[in-house]
Structures are given as structure tokens and as C-alpha cells.
Amino acid sequence: MKRSFFQKHAIILIVYALILVLVVIGAFNSEHFLTLRNLTNVMRQAAYLGTAALGEMMVILIAGIDLSVGSLVKLCVLVSAILMDGDPDNVWMAVSLTLGLGLSVGLIHAFLINELNMSPFVVTFASLFILKGISLSITTKPIGRASRDFLMLYSEKIAGIYVIIFFFIILILMMMFLLNKTIFGKHIYAIGGNLSVAQLSGISVKRVRYGVYSLCSVLAAATGLLWLMRMGVGDPVIGNGLELNVIIAVVIGGTSLFGGRGTVIGVLGGVLLLTFTDNLLVILGVSQFYSGLIKGLIFVAAVSLYKMENR
Amino acid sequence: MRESQNPYILEMRNIFKSFGGVNALRDVSFQCRPGTVHALVGENGAGKSTLIKILAGALLPDSGEIIFKGQKHQSFSTRKALNSGISVIYQELALVSQMTVAENIFLGREPRKYFGIVDKKRLKIEAKKLLKQLGFEVDMDMEVGEMTVAYQQMVEIAKALSKNADLIIMDEPSAILAGHELDQLFLIIESLKKRGVTIIYISHRLEEVFRIANEVTILKDGQLVGTKPIKDLSRGELVKMMVGRTLEEVFPVSFNQLGNPVLQVEEISTKTILNQVSFNLREGEILGVAGMVGSGRTELARAIFGADPLTSGTIKIKGQDVVFKNPADAIRSKISLVPEDRKNHGLFTKLSILNNITLPILSKISRWGFTDKKKENEIVERERQIHSIDMTSGNQEVQYLSGGNQQKVVLSKSLQTIPEVIIMDEPTRGVDVGAKFEIYQLIRQLNKDGIAILMISSELPEILGLSDRILVMREGKIVAELTPNETNEEMIIEFATTNTQQSVP
Ligand SMILES: Nc1ncnc2c1ncn2[C@@H]1O[C@H](COP(=O)(O)OP(=O)(O)OP(=O)(O)O)[C@@H](O)[C@H]1O
Ligand SMILES: [Mg+2]
């Protein structure tokens, strides 16, 4: 009756097996691929997608969706660049106000979903356009400037690893802890698994929603800050279509769109798979135009594999 | 001094509740004494579940008040009810299927260490202790969705017990339990009573009500009929109060015209639990399958229906070897299944009654891909009468029907395709006494048209009263084949629980 270890973790094994396949293909086709330099680069890129994806994952786990992630990242890049304006004294102010902006957006999402009974799809779809609209009304050209030391963080290292990767690892550990060890985490799975049961068990569904949507938006804001760190300016093209990449990564990682099922390790796999794909395309010199096509195919392949194993 | 004190732990006063146009409860009042078992009975749709949902804070009453432990409440929230010591076993099981047994038992009240961190070790130990108390050993890490409904029911009971409540409400906890599990449940109820816990017990099995209840409250059409000490009532009187008329509880007789074997099962085994199961089912026959929880009855149904793959053995339909890769294959061979778990396997709860019933025959009643509304309505009206489904219209969503009425819709749905073999897994689960006998008539009637029926049931009176032959299962095997007039409940339980084996042809 009980499922074996292999069956239980089949999804994750599949994702990581696919990653391995990519690595092998990469290694055979380019001598640059398996270099430490390239691999750390991939990890650093993975942190960008991954930070946003871990937030989205929480939302999807409670059977919600957040479509506004890309637009919020865009707005946060602009806002943080404008606030920082190249001045080292502004860094803390800019960082905290940007994260505060993310928090408020998340709280508004949860408020509309909780108190006005609107569907997450509608709320965050509207938010996608509103936030994008605000961003483009601020500017259509690069704007603002990161301070020098903030920019330096991009290439700085702690104990031999890039700051960004370090941050990402901490974030992963925190998320794993949150989901597996805390009551908040258990309640997230319960709400996604069966909303009415969660309610009948006396779980405060609203409070969990406030927490989850804020967390998702704060992580999007953090992603915006990471982008500023990389670009040095507030570029309004950042974040275009990001929400879709994020959702694809979460779903490839074995998170059920109906909620209640999904793991951090799985999502990490999804993120790495997408990042490796992009990296490989660049290294093999394939046009970026094929990137969407290939990701779409991986998406379908992964999801159909899960369906087969769940049969 | 004592005299002036409130002798009741719970009073519900003048409760009204309507859903749209439906008056589910009209001016219902009743009281419970502490440390007693108070039964709540009534036909399907009488308002029993609605009443206890109000008590549990899951629904708000339109008006009326609740006095619990001397405190007056206009209404409860689920939290408030839990905190003041009320715990509920809901009729439609309230478990999260993706979570483990232990997690479900403590959902919403997880033991914590500090900073909201779950104490996983304690969670498992406590859960294990509770289930052991119920005489039940399961893997604490198993996901609830992988268990059969009967096991889930035991988890639900453990969950209710874990809350150390003063009032435990049980909405049809026994509908799918039999023999040993039922005895265990009653033992627990006895011991709870001794500890001063009050129990509200809802059931359609009246023999249980007579066995454990001190008092009984009867509801009919959302109104109170009365509250009586159980010893002042006979079964007939109780039925009369529930149904409004005297009811003859007789099983329809067999037509005794058994034809050729339609379904031949030869030594089938599965990965689940089935081990070399063989039997024949003949035209016009009702073959009853009895057994304990976990004996493999549901798995047998699933295997025949193509839902679980066979590891060995063969199935023949009318002498022809068949292999069902999935349920669709089985349906094509005119086999139909009335599943045990109506919420997950039997119904589209968010669709209307009409859509549910006509779904299996849509292609037959539509033209050029358009459905024939008039015909659909006719069918639903016909089915409503046959099964006496208590509904406002065919457009009502199934989720808003009472539990017993949902079961009637499941039955009606699976009979639409005119099958040759019907496998019924707990066909009268949660159905009231009156309707039950109507369903028995209907099942017999199907026989007359040559349809063969494999009926899995935990209700031994039903197995004994209706079957032409009885199979008893234990640990994935058939351990006895009996004829109803040469056996009795004790004998069946004996076979289902002990190791003696009777030769099986
Ligand atoms: N959420 C709802 N919306 C609309 N109608 C409802 C809802 N819940 C219950 N009803 C209706 O209220 C009436 C009482 O239902 P209830 O579930 O209390 O019956 P019950 O006595 O528990 O029946 P059963 O024995 O079948 O479980 C029924 O007519 C039912 O259709
Ligand atoms: Mg009910």
C-alpha cells in the first residue's frame, strides 16, 4: 500500500535526471560548459529565477496564482534605481522601501482575495497590467543608478561563493524550514489540499493567505533588487514575461497547480533545468528565439512524465 | 441548589436556517444531558447535518441561540466551537488526502515546540497512541488519500478524540464500518460516556441507536418531531416518527431464476491485496460480499472494473476472456460500478443533478451533438421518483444535497447505461430506512431484467436479506461461500475475523 521511496520522489528524480542529460550534452559539445566559471554563472542566474519562483510556489501550493510577479520585478527595479540614485547613503533606504513596496502589493492582493472574495487569477492579472502601466508611465528608458558598492555586490564573494548564490542558498534553506517544520507550512499544504477541511479544522485561512501573498511579492521585490545589482540602472525591459518562466519552473518542479503538493527541492530542480537550458542554448550558439520553443517542450515533457507516474 | 442548575450541557433554541428557498431547519430546539449519548435521526434531507454544522460553527443560523456549558452564543465560529470543547466527525469526511495520517489528526492544532515549529516526533507518537486506542495500527506516514474510506473513517474518529472535547458530534460515523470496527467504536463511546463526555450520534442504522443511545431526537422536513428516552420507544414507533407512516421493513424475495454465469473471476491477484480470488456471478443473481475493513472488498471491485491492474488470473465475461486496462474498457463490456467514495469517485459535486445523471448517456440523448433538454428533464424527473431524491430541481448542484440524497444520485447515474453487471460498493451508505427498502426493491427489480449484481456491503442485515449467495473476504482472499438461509450475522463475522477456512468451490 505504501509507496516506495522511488515512487514518492519520482518527480524530483525525473527533473534532476533531465538536468543531468543537459549537463552531458553541454559537456560533449563545448569545453567551456563544465568549467567552474560557467557553472557558478549558471547558479548565479538560477538565483534570479529561483527567488521569484520560491515565492510563486507558496502561492500555487495554496491553490492560488500570482501573475503579477514579472511586472512587480520591473517596478521594483525602477523604484530602487530611482531611490538609490547612485548614492551609497541611500542604499538601505532604497532596499527597505522597495521591499516595503513588495509587501504592500502582496497585502493588497491578499486583501482583495480574502475580503472581497475575488479570484487570485483576476486580482493578479489586473495587477500585472496596473504595475506594468505604472512602470511604463514612470519611464520607458533606463532610469536611476545603483550605488557603486551595491553594484559591486554582484561580483563579490563570501567564503568563496558569490553573494547572490549565498543569499539564494539561505533562502532555499529558509523555505524548506518554513514548509516542512512550521505550522504555517503545514497549513499551507492543508489549505491547498482541501480548503473546506482546513476551514473546518479551525485554520485561519485568511491569515495564511496574507502571509503567502506578501511573501511572494516581497520575494519579487527582492528579485528586482538583484536585477539592479546586475544592471546598475533601472531598465524597464526587466521582468517582461518573467511570470510565465516562474510558473513553468514551479510546475516543472512537480508543484500541483491545484495546490497541496510540491517541494522546494523540486522547484529548485525546475529552476535549474530552465537555467541550464538557456545557458546551453547560448553556449551552443542557438538563437534565443528557440528558447521559448524548447522550454515549452520541456514543460510538456515534464508534466506528461508526472502524469504517467501518477497513473 | 442543584435543582436550579441547568441540567443540560447543550441547548439549541428555536434554530432557523434556510438555503435560498429551502427551509432546512424551522424552529428546531433540543437539549442534551451531559455524559449521555443523544441520537439524532430523520430521513435524508431532514436537516440533521445542517443542525450539527450550526453547532460546530461551520454554518451560521438565520436565527436562534445555542447555550453550551451555561454560556449563550448567538452563533459559533469553527474556532470558537473547537475552543469551547465541541468536536465533530463530519458526514462527508473532512481529511486532506495529500497529508499523512498523523498530520490530519492534528490539523489546526499541531503540537509545537517554539516559534510555531511543529513537533513532528510528538505528532507521530500522539497520533499512534490514539489509533492504538481505537485498535487500529496504520503507518503514520501514509497519505490519507491512499487509504480506503473505512480507514479514513477511523482516522476521522481519532481526530475527534484527540481534541479532548466535552461534546463529540458524530455524523454517521458507522455508515461504512462493520463488525470489529463497529464494536470498537461502541466501546470507545461507552468509555467516553463514563468520562462524562456527551455524544450526539447520527445514524440511519436504527439497531445502533437502540444499542447505544440514551435519548433520541427525531427531525422531519427540517422540523422537530420530538425527543424521547430510547427505552420508551419501539423500533416501529421510531420509524413511524421519522417517516410519518408505518413502514414494513421486508426484503424483496429473490426471483430465483439464475441464468448462465456472466462474470467469471478466476484466481485473480493484484498488487494491492487480492490473492487468488475466484468466483462466478450468474445472470439475475445478487452476490453479496461481506468482510472487515481492509479485507479487500473495495480492491476486488476496483480490480474487476479495470481500475487496478491484475498480476495474475483471468476474468471472463459470458465465457469470453477479457482484459480491462482501465474502467472505460469495463464500461464498454457493460460493467458498471457504484463506488464507495461518492465525493471523489462517484459524483461531480459542482455540477447539477441533471448533468450528473445524464452524463453517462449524453451521446444517446443528444442529436448532432446538441443535448435534448426536454428529454434530460424527463429522465431526471423519472429518477427523482424512482429513488425519492429530495431536491428542489434538476439544476441544483449535487454538493448542496444531503448525504443520503447524493448517494441516490450516484446510484441513479450508474444505472443509466443499462449494464449487464453492476458492482455496488456500499450502495445504501447513508440512505434512510424508507429509501433503503425502495433501493432494495430496485436492486431486485434489476435482477428480473437479467442484470447480475455484486454487492459489497458492511451492513449484514442487507447482505443477509438481499443476497442469493454470500462471499466472505478476509486478507484479500475469499474465505467462505454461504447461502443466506443457512447462515447468520455471527457466522459471517466469525469467518471474516478468524482463521478457520471453509472449502470454496
Ligand atoms: N449548502 C446548502 N445549500 C443548499 N441547500 C442545502 C445546503 N446544505 C443542505 N441543504 C439542504 O438542506 C436540507 C437538509 O440537509 P441536511 O444535509 O441537513 O440533511 P440530513 O438530515 O443530514 O440528511 P442525510 O441523512 O441524507 O445526511 C436538504 O434539503 C439539503 O438539500
Ligand atoms: Mg447528513
DSSP string, A243-265: HHHHHHHHHHTT--TTSS---HH
Long-range contacts of B117-123 (CB under 8 A, 24+ apart): B117/A181, B117/A182, B117/A183, B118/A181, B118/A182, B118/A183, B118/A185, B118/A186, B120/A181
Strand B421-425, strand B452-456: pairing: parallel
Contacts of A181 in chain B (CB under 8 A): 117-118, 120
> Which residue owns the Cα nearest ligand 1 atom 2?
B400
Nearest chain A residue to B104, by CA:
A190
ipTM of the complex: 0.73
**What amino acid is encoded at B4 in this protein?**
S
Q: Cβ(B484) to ligand 1 under 6 A?
A: no
pLDDT band at A53 (very low <50, low <70, confident <90, very high): very high
Out of B78, B109, B116, the one facing A184 most closely (by C-beta) is B116
Out of A3, A182, A260, the one facing B118 most closely (by C-beta) is A182
Contacts of A186 in chain B (CB under 8 A): 99, 103, 107, 110, 118
In a mutational test of the B interface, the residue from A8, A200, A261 whose CB has the highest number of chain B CBs within 10 Å is A200
pLDDT band at B365 (very low <50, low <70, confident <90, very high): confident
Residue A5 confidence (pLDDT): 61
Residue B502 confidence (pLDDT): 44
Determine whether the interchain pair B97/A189 forms a contact, defined as Cβ–Cβ distance below 8 Å.
no
Q: Cβ(B394) to ligand 1 under 6 A?
A: no
Q: Cβ(B453) to ligand 1 under 6 A?
A: no
Q: Cβ(B55) to ligand 1 under 6 A?
A: no
Distance B53 CA to ligand 2 centre (A): 10
Size of interface A-B (CB pairs under 8 A): 79
> Which residue owns the Cα nearest ligand 1 atom 7?
B400
The residue-averaged pLDDT of A120-148 equals 94
Determine the Cα–Cα distance for residues B109 and B88; give it in Å rounded to an integer: 14
Determine whether the interchain pair B78/A183 forms a contact, defined as Cβ–Cβ distance below 8 Å.
no
For all residues of chain B together, what is the average pLDDT?
Answer: 86
pLDDT band at B3 (very low <50, low <70, confident <90, very high): very low
Q: Cβ(B50) to ligand 1 under 6 A?
A: yes
pLDDT band at A183 (very low <50, low <70, confident <90, very high): confident
pLDDT band at A4 (very low <50, low <70, confident <90, very high): low
pLDDT band at B505 (very low <50, low <70, confident <90, very high): very low
Q: Cβ(B401) to ligand 1 under 6 A?
A: yes
**What amino acid is encoded at A15 in this protein?**
V
Residue to substitute in B12, B17, B28, B49 for testing ligand 1 pocket (most ligand atoms within 8 angstroms of CB): B49
The residue-averaged pLDDT of A31-58 equals 92
Say if residue B442's pLDDT is above 90. no
Residue A126 confidence (pLDDT): 97
Q: Cβ(B152) to ligand 1 under 6 A?
A: no
Out of B108, B146, B272, the one facing A203 most closely (by C-beta) is B108
Q: Which residues surround ligand 2, an ion (CB under 5 A)?
A: B 49, 91, 402-403
The residue-averaged pLDDT of A25-47 equals 88
Half-sphere exposure of B28 (CA within 13 A, CB side): 29
Query: Which residues lie below 8 Å from residue A124, measured CB to CB, with a gap of 6+?
Result: A65, A66, A67, A68, A109
The residue-averaged pLDDT of B182-211 equals 89
pLDDT in tens, B197-254: 999 999 988 888 999 999 999 999 899 999 999 999 998 899 888 888 777 777 887 7
Contact by Cβ (8 Å): A308, A14: no
Contacts of B146 in chain A (CB under 8 A): 1-3
Contacts of A190 in chain B (CB under 8 A): 96, 99, 103, 107-108
pLDDT in tens, B338-351: 887 776 667 787 88
Determine the Cα–Cα distance for residues B176 and B430; give it in Å rounded to an integer: 9
pLDDT more than 70, % of chain B? 96
Nearest chain B residue to A205, by CA:
B108
pLDDT in tens, B37-74: 999 999 888 999 999 999 988 899 999 999 998 888 87
Determine the Cα–Cα distance for residues B310 and B274; give it in Å rounded to an integer: 9
Establish if B141 touches chain A: CB-CB under 8 angstroms.
yes
Of the candidates B85, B120, B115, the one whose C-alpha atom is nearest the C-alpha of residue B103 is B120
pLDDT in tens, A217-236: 999 999 999 999 999 999 99
pTM equals 0.74
Strand B71-73, strand B63-68: pairing: antiparallel
Determine the Cα–Cα distance for residues B163 and B110; give it in Å rounded to an integer: 11
Determine the Cα–Cα distance for residues B229 and B245; give it in Å rounded to an integer: 21
C-alpha distance from B110 to closest chain A C-alpha (Å)? 7
Q: B76 or A65: which carries more pLDDT confidence?
A: A65
**Terminal Cα distance for chain B, rounded:** 71
Query: Which residues lie below 8 Å from residue B177, measured CB to CB, with a gap of 6+?
Result: B150, B153, B185, B293, B458
Establish if B270 touches chain A: CB-CB under 8 angstroms.
no
Say if residue B281's pLDDT is above 70. yes
Strand B261-270, strand B310-317: pairing: antiparallel
Nearest chain A residue to B114, by CA:
A182
Of the candidates A112, A111, A101, the one whose C-alpha atom is nearest the C-alpha of residue A75 is A101
Beta strands in B76-229 (DSSP E): 86-89, 167-171, 198-202, 215-220, 223-229
C-alpha distance from A15 to closest chain B C-alpha (Å)? 21
pLDDT band at B92 (very low <50, low <70, confident <90, very high): confident
pLDDT in tens, B291-345: 887 788 989 999 998 888 889 999 999 888 998 888 888 888 888 888 877 766 6
pLDDT more than 90, % of chain A? 60
Determine whether the interchain pair B90/A3 forms a contact, defined as Cβ–Cβ distance below 8 Å.
no
Strand B37-41, strand B198-202: pairing: parallel
For all residues of chain A together, what is the average pLDDT?
Answer: 90
What does the block give as the cell for A243?
511570470
* Ligand nearest to the CA of residue B219, numbered in listed order: 1
pLDDT in tens, B126-164: 888 888 877 777 888 888 888 877 788 888 888 888 888
**Terminal Cα distance for chain A, rounded:** 15
Contact by Cβ (8 Å): A239, A77: yes
* Ligand nearest to the CA of residue B402, numbered in listed order: 1
Residue A235 confidence (pLDDT): 93
* Ligand nearest to the CA of residue B90, numbered in listed order: 2
